[in-house]
Structure 1
Amino acid sequence: MLIKEYRICMPLSVDEYKIGQLYMVAKHSSEQSQKGEGVEVVRNEACEHEQHGKGQYTEKRVHLSSRLPTWLQSFIPKIFYVTEKAWNYYPYTITEYTCSFIPKFSVCIETRYEDNNGSSDNCLSMSVESLAQRTVDIVDIVNDPVPEKHFKEEEDLSKFKSKKTSRGPFDKKWMEATEPIMCSYKLVKVKFEVWGLQTKVESFTQKSIRDILLLGHKQAFAWIDEWIGMTEEDVREYEKQMQEETNKRVLGSRSGSTSSH
Structure 2
Amino acid sequence: MDSLKSNCDALVIGRVSDSSDVHGHENATAKHHSKAPSWLTAFAPADALVMEEEAWNAYPKCRSVVKSPYFSKFFMSIDTVHKADNGYSENVHGLSEDQLAARKVEVIDIASAATDYWSYIVGRNNVDLSNFQSARSGRGPLLEGWQDHCSPVMTAYKLVTIDAPYWGFGSRLEQALMAGERSLFLESHRNCFAWIDEWLGLTVEVLRELEQQSDYSLNMKLGRPCSAESWMTQEESPVEGEKSVA
- Band of TM-score, shorter chain: 0.7 to 0.9
- Match in the other structure for 1:114: 83
32, 38, 48: which one aligns with 1:70: 38
Code of the residue aligned with 2:61 in structure 1: it is: Y
Residues 13, 30 of structure 2: 8 Å contact kept: yes
Match of 1:44 among 3, 6, 14: 14
The answer (yes or no) to whether the contact 1:36–1:251 under 8 Å persists in 2 is no
In 1, Cα distance between the equivalents of 2:177 and 2:185? 12
Q: Is the 8 A contact 2:125 2:187 kept in 1?
A: no
Higher alpha-carbon deviation: 85-94 or 144-153: 144-153
Contact 1:36 1:250 in 2 (8 A): no
1:89 aligned onto 2:61: no
Q: For 2:191 and 2:63, how far apart are their aligned partners in 1?
A: 22
Q: Which has the higher contact order (CA 8 A, sep 6+)?
A: 1
TM-score w.r.t. structure 2 length?
0.80
Q: Secondary structure at the match of 2:163?
A: strand
| Percent identity for Structure 1 against Structure 2 | 31
Deviation (angstroms), 1:50:
3.1
- 1:46-103 Cα offsets, whole Å, 9 max, x none, are 2224335311222111232xxx333123334333421111122211122100011221
Q: Greater share of helix residues, 1 or 2?
A: 1
The aligned residue for residue 211 of structure 1 is 183
Unaligned runs of 5+ in 2: 225-246
How big is the shift at 1:123? 1.0
Does 1:184 pair with 2:188? Answer: no
Offset at 1:43? 4.5
Q: Under a length normalisation based on structure 1, what TM-score does the superposition of the two structures give?
A: 0.76
The Cα RMSD (Å) is: 2.0
Q: 1-side partners of 2:54 and 2:114: how far apart? A: 29
Q: Deviations over 1:25-48 (max 9, x none)?
A: xxxxxxxxxx97434113523222
Distance 1:113 1:105 in 2: 27
Determine which structure has the larger strand proportion and give its number. 1
TM-superposition CA deviations, 1:127-184 (whole Å, max 9, x none):
111111001110111024243563343x321222211111112112111111110111
- Cα pair distance change 1:78/1:71, threshold 3 Å: closer
* Counterpart secondary structure, 2:188: helix
